[in-house]
Amino acid sequence: MPEGDTVYRAAKNLHSALAGQVLTRCDVRVPRYATVDLTGERIESSGSRGKHLLLRTEQALIHSHLKMEGAWHLYRHGTRWRRPAFEARIVLETAQWQAVGFALGTLEVLRRDEEESVVGHLGPDLLGPDWDAGQAVRNIERQPERAIGLALLDQRNLAGVGNVYRNELCFLRGVLPTRPVSEVPDLPRMVALAKRTLDANRNRMERTTTGDTRAGKQDWVYGRTGKPCRRCGTRIVGGTLGDPVQPGRGAQDRETYWCPRCQT
C-alpha cells in the first residue's frame, strides 16, 4: 500500500532517471488532459510532498497521487510492462527511459506556479526538508477530542502517514487508535517515532515496522485480525474507524487493527 515512503522512493527514482532529460513523447491518458503534449520540454526535477508526487518540467507540473493502487514504473525502451496497458494513465519518454504512471488516483497537468494549490494544505512532510516536529504536534493538538488514529491520517497535520503506519504507530506506543488526542501520553514521542519509522523505510523495497522484512513478518498488527499478537499472544482485533469531526470522508473510514492487551 503506497504511503509516504513509497512515494518518496518513486519520486527519487524518477528524478535519478529523468532529471535533465528532454521528453521525446508525452501521452496523457486522462480525458481532461488528453490534448496536453509536453514533448520537447526538459524535465527539471521529481519530488514528493507527503503522499503527493510532483514531476516538474520547464513549464508544467505533473501532479499525481497513488491512492490505493497507483504506481510509477521506469522501463528501458522495448521492455515489457509489468502491469496491463489499460491501467496506464500517463506515459513519458526520453531518449533513455520510459516512465509510466499506472492506476494513479489523481493525475493533473498544471502550470508550474500552481504547485501550492495542490500541496499547500499539507502539514510538515515527514521525509521532506520542511519537517518540523513541533508544528506537527501543534497541528494534531488543535483537535484534542479527535481520535489519535484519525489525527495521524490527516495530512494537514503531518504528511506521509498512511493506514499501515497509523496502525503500527498506535501499537508501538501502546495506544488504542480510538483514544482522544488529549489522552495520548507524550504525543511528541509518537510524532518522533513516525519520523524515525518512515526514515528507516524510505529506501527499502520491503517496508517493515518489526525490523523483519520476511513476508508475513513485517507488521505488528496491520492486516492481522485474529492472529496472535507478536508480543503477548492476544488475538488482534480489526474494525473500522470513522471520523465524527468530518463525517463521510471516505479516506478517513479505514481499517483499524489493535491488540486489546498491549493497547489501552
**Are 146 and 65 in the same domain?**
no
Quick one: 196 and 241 in the same domain? yes
**Per-residue pLDDT reduced to its tens digit, 84-116:** 999 999 999 999 999 999 999 999 999 999 999
Q: Residue 21 belongs to what domain range?
A: 4-119
Cα dihedral: 166, 172, 178, 183 (round 10) = -120
What is the predicted pLDDT for the residue at 251?
41
208 domain-assigned: yes
254 classed as catalytic: yes
**pLDDT band for position 249 (50/70/90)?**
very low
Residue 74 maps to which CATH number? 3.20.190.10
For the question of residue 255 being annotated catalytic, the response is no
* Three-state DSSP state, 194: helix
Please state whether the predicted TM-score (pTM) of the whole model is above 0.95: no
264 part of a folded domain: no
Instruction: Give 219-246 pLDDT, tens digit per residue.
Output: 999 999 999 999 999 999 999 997 765 5
Q: Are 70 and 101 in contact (CB under 8 A)?
A: yes
Is residue 2 annotated as a catalytic residue, yes or no? yes
Residues 168 and 254 in one domain: yes
109 & 156 share domain: no
155, 110: one domain:
no
Number of domains in the chain: 2
Query: Which entry of 3, 93, 108, 168 is annotated as an active-site residue?
Result: 3
d(CA 76, CA 97): 5
pLDDT band at 1 (very low <50, low <70, confident <90, very high): low
Q: Which residue has the higher pLDDT, 4 or 254?
A: 4
Active site residue 227: no
My answer on whether 108 and 147 are in the same domain is no
Which residues, at least 6 apart from 7, have a Cβ–Cβ distance to it below 8 Å?
48, 50, 51, 52, 53, 66, 160
* Mean of all residue pLDDT scores within the chain: 94
Average pLDDT over every residue of 145-165: 96
- What does the DSSP assignment read for 127-170? TSTT--HHHHHHHHHTSTTSBHHHHTT-TTTSBS--HHHHHHHH
Pick from 85, 119, 153: which residue ends a domain? 119
Annotated catalytic residue, options 9, 49, 166, 254: 254
CATH of the domain at 241: 1.10.8.50
- Of the pLDDT bands very low, low, confident and very high (cuts 50, 70, 90), residue 250 is very low
Q: pLDDT (tens digit, 9 = 90+) per residue, 24-46?
A: 999 999 999 999 999 999 999 99
The bridge status of strand 254-258 relative to strand 60-65 is: unpaired
